[in-house]
Structure 1
Amino acid sequence: MKLEILGTGCTKCKRMYDNVTEAVKKSGIQAEVIKIEALEDIVSRGVMMTPSLFLDGEEVIAGRVPTVNEIIEIIKESA
């Protein structure tokens, strides 16, 4: 499983990254967590609002910071 957080490094983006890493730890699922901050990479993915969370190449959340529990549910649904 690959989770990507796309955002330019703002406070919300950092909080999403922290929430995603905590959710992965709590869920016990093996996942690669990647933070993408380069604007050209974000734009090339078609992201209109940050922070954005991608799961295995598909955008699952955009423009807000999900809770740890919400991320765990998303992870479990796709596992």
Structure 2
Amino acid sequence: MKKIIFLSVILLSVFNITAQSGKLVEDGLFKVNALLPGVSYEVGVGERTAINAEAIIGFALRGTSNVETEFGLYLGFAADF
């Protein structure tokens, strides 16, 4: 039984090592966000680095008890490395 467990651990570690040898990020990844409506595109620029650009539509409600309440839709853009 010990030999089977030992052999299984060795085989799984070999598969894990070969799986990690390639690029760790996708070349291009397009995402759609339904919770906060928007789209995002991620591009791999290196073996472990990526650039992400995102455009969203944000909701805002502004007002107090003595002022007229306003509702707005606002466009937003974000990018990160």
TM-score range (shorter-chain normalised) is: under 0.3
Structure with the higher fraction of residues in strand conformation: 2
TM-score normalised to structure 1 length: 0.22
Larger Rg computed on CA atoms: 2
Structure with the higher fraction of residues in helix conformation: 1
Select the structure with the greater relative contact order (CA < 8 A; seq sep ≥ 6).
1
